[in-house]
Structure 1
Amino acid sequence: MGRHGFALGGRVVRGVAVLAVGLGAGAVSTIEVDPRVADAARSALHAAGYAPEVMCGDGSFGWSAAAPYDRLLSTVPVRDIPPAWPDQTRPGGVIVSPVSPLLGGGAIVRLTVGDNGTASGRFTRSAAFMMLRRQRYAAAPVDDYLPGEWPGDAEQSWTEPDPETVGADWPALFACALALPDVYYRRNDYGPGRTWWLFDTAVTSWATVDSVPGQPRFEVHQSGPRQLWDEMATAHHRWTAAGRPGYDRYGLTVTPTGQTAWLDDPDTPVSGRDAAG
């Protein structure tokens, strides 16, 4: 491991202590957003005989005072890798972080920073933790999408993929989430089954799918310029056609202007509305 290590999340006292043993306490910095937790972590580390730098602050901004780092480890998921992280990691350095797309199915990504500041790498395994505070999504009220009574101006159709089956399969949901980074869902019990609601973050489109056990097809309503369930069904079909790939076939490339998810190779992007359907 390199000379400087940076960890986000003061809750992982044991992990920071291990880094301090391996690198030397002076080569480890850690940051925690909650001042009480940061103080408790600092006290626990000192009591155990370790004195890494423990700061209180927003980890999405990193910690420029001790940069550049050889390794940056986050113990809180993000939807988007903060630009400060690659900026504060030296070329050849590594960033490891859980990534939790808005739609669901989170996984850990391992990125290597290039000479041009771009970071790229593959996902390794599933993961679910508490989201970085700055990136927690506050959804708009349903009435902002659907003024008046349901189904409003929605078009009715039918589908074969069961949203409950898709949602119960984390690799499948993860693949759909990477393809549709600006879509989220809610669900509620309805009659004999469950209704899935899909929304876009631009507050322009919505869809519902009624999952009823034992049925061969499921009722869909969609409204707005985007047909959100059609996009999700297309993403799921492409995941199936690709051989139901696991996390390690997907990767992420982060540039100063954004991030792109890909399958097998950075030249085969899956993220973004166009790629999804």
Structure 2
Amino acid sequence: MAGHVHQGRPGHTRLGRALMAGGALTPDWVPAFTEVPRSAFLPELMWPFAMEAARSIPVSRSGDPASWLAYADADVPIVTQWDDGRHRGTEPGQVSTSSASMPSVVFRMLRALDVRAGQRVLEIGTGTGWNAALLAHRTGAGNVVSVEVDGAVTERARRALRASGAPVRVVHGDGFRGFPEGAPYDRIVATCGLRSLPFAWVRQARPGAVIVAPWGTHYSNADAIARLVVAEDARSASGTFAGPVEFMKLRSQRLPPVVHRAYVPETVAVGEETTSTTAEEAFTGDRFGAGRFALGLRVPACVNVVAERRDGARPVWFYGLTDRSWACAMFRDGDTARVWQSGPRRLWDEAEAALAWWEERGRPAHERFGLTLTETGQSAWLDDPANFWEV
């Protein structure tokens, strides 16, 4: 490949050492990391997540080249598009809709993909093109097809890939459908979060192929890295999770914001009231924790919203997606939680039962959970695919 003007830069070298020390970057991926710097795929104006400010900030390469390069070589996510391209100006927009992921996450997923030279790879979500270029460096010319749903993002990625000399075919289309023209694939990787995996990917994969995708439930925005292996009879794909992440969602699977008034037009007093001794931390702790992931698996078609704490009290809401069932737990310092719920489902009861289920099984981490995809749908399981339930 050509155009490696930034390789060997001190910041790039420090990033590589940090990624190796943290276990994200393995020795076999060091050549690709060295030859294919992320900076070659980032736009003039970008919005890196500034850890000290805890928000995305605008950084221009022409206006502040030192900061631009420093963020390019930092292990932070960088937004490259807001609001599906409708955004204008330099300040962040409303919703981030394309980005360059944290390098540590990129290489964790590439490690899970276990891709080899000469293998055919389908990537869902081209983004900046950096991930596709890394894959092309590993697999060789003509082996990577990347599908991007956004036309403007597609064109920018094509330009960046051409400039870097990366031999990648970028297709403007719906990655949920895959790209049968390039099949069969040995590896399929998605760079967007999904709530339902398409069986089309299994149909386009070889037996024994590996599918890696950020997957989760509508319970929260959190995902986990699903690593599925296509069965020899090509009738299913199954595997376990490799830890938590968070990705922008596949556009066709984005969940519209919950309209609270559609569920609770007046006050919570219209619901059935009870109390609970369940700890607030079970619902407000680490948003990437295995407990919240398990709750999402065990309380299907439900959105959890944790409100801000005010005057020593915090409401935690549950909204059903198949009907207008809702629940609210009001946690107050030094007091028993008050709970209201209404509708055909008792969502608080479901949540408490799911939490008890998780605790009774030893609080299993993400890695003990698995996912199986068949032509009729997807199911989750714990420890063994035989212990499955539909999700």
Structure showing greater Rg: 2
Corresponding position: 1:124 with 2:242: yes
Q: Which of 266, 275, 280 lines up with 1:158 in the alignment?
A: 275
Equivalent residues of 1:145, 1:203 under 8 A apart: no
Equivalent residues of 2:380, 2:389 under 8 A apart: yes
Q: Which of 128, 137, 142 lines up with 1:26 in the alignment?
A: 142
1:106 aligned partner: 223
Partner amino acid for 2:317? W
Deviation at 1:145, TM superposition (A): 2.3
Partner amino acid for 1:15? N
Deviation at 1:192, TM superposition (A): 2.4
Aligned counterparts of 1:205 and 1:191: Cα–Cα separation in 2: 27
Partner amino acid for 2:377? G
Task: Determine helix, strand or coil for the equivalent of 2:351.
Answer: helix
Aligned counterparts of 1:41 and 1:140: Cα–Cα separation in 2: 33
Equivalent residues of 2:381, 2:389 under 8 A apart: yes
Aligned counterparts of 2:124 and 2:192: Cα–Cα separation in 1: 7
Deviation at 1:134, TM superposition (A): 0.6
Task: Determine helix, strand or coil for the equivalent of 1:81.
Answer: coil
2:159 aligned partner: 43
Corresponding position: 1:15 with 2:131: yes
2:305 aligned partner: 186
Q: Which of 234, 240, 249 lines up with 2:353 in the alignment?
A: 234
Aligned counterparts of 2:234 and 2:130: Cα–Cα separation in 1: 34
Partner amino acid for 2:302? V
- Alignment map for 1:1-277 (pairs within 5 Å): 1=116, 3-104=119-220, 105-114=222-231, 115-147=233-265, 149-151=266-268, 153-169=270-286, 170-189=289-308, 190-215=310-335, 217-271=336-390
Equivalent residues of 2:283, 2:316 under 8 A apart: no
Deviation at 1:32, TM superposition (A): 1.2
Aligned counterparts of 1:266 and 1:167: Cα–Cα separation in 2: 30
Aligned counterparts of 1:68 and 1:152: Cα–Cα separation in 2: 57
Task: Determine helix, strand or coil for the equivalent of 2:278.
Answer: coil
Equivalent residues of 1:180, 1:271 under 8 A apart: no
Aligned counterparts of 1:28 and 1:83: Cα–Cα separation in 2: 20
Q: Name the TM-score, length of structure 2 as normaliser.
A: 0.66
Aligned counterparts of 2:199 and 2:315: Cα–Cα separation in 1: 37
Task: Determine helix, strand or coil for the equivalent of 1:266.
Answer: coil
Equivalent residues of 1:76, 1:130 under 8 A apart: yes
Partner amino acid for 1:201? L
Q: Runs of 5+ in structure 2 lacking a partner?
A: 1-115
Q: Runs of 5+ in structure 1 lacking a partner?
A: 273-277
Task: Determine helix, strand or coil for the equivalent of 1:50.
Answer: coil
Aligned counterparts of 2:281 and 2:174: Cα–Cα separation in 1: 36
Aligned counterparts of 2:385 and 2:284: Cα–Cα separation in 1: 26
Q: Choose 88-97 or 206-215, whichever is displaced more.
A: 206-215
Task: Determine helix, strand or coil for the equivalent of 1:73.
Answer: strand
Equivalent residues of 1:176, 1:235 under 8 A apart: yes
Equivalent residues of 1:164, 1:211 under 8 A apart: no
Aligned counterparts of 1:64 and 1:271: Cα–Cα separation in 2: 27
1:275 aligned partner: none
Partner amino acid for 2:143? A
Deviations 1:88-139 (A, max 9, x none): 1121111000012111242101001111421100001111011111100124
Deviation at 1:12, TM superposition (A): 4.9
Residues paired across the two proteins, number: 270
Quote the RMSD (CA, aligned, Å): 1.7
Task: Determine helix, strand or coil for the equivalent of 2:362.
Answer: coil
Equivalent residues of 2:283, 2:292 under 8 A apart: yes
Q: Choose 76-85 or 137-146, whichever is displaced more.
A: 137-146
Aligned counterparts of 1:141 and 1:152: Cα–Cα separation in 2: 18
Aligned counterparts of 2:354 and 2:279: Cα–Cα separation in 1: 14
Deviation at 1:46, TM superposition (A): 1.1
Aligned counterparts of 1:226 and 1:82: Cα–Cα separation in 2: 28
Aligned counterparts of 2:209 and 2:257: Cα–Cα separation in 1: 35
Aligned counterparts of 1:84 and 1:213: Cα–Cα separation in 2: 50
Partner amino acid for 2:242? T
Task: Determine helix, strand or coil for the equivalent of 1:78.
Answer: coil
Deviation at 1:268, TM superposition (A): 1.2
Q: Name the TM-score, length of structure 1 as normaliser.
A: 0.91
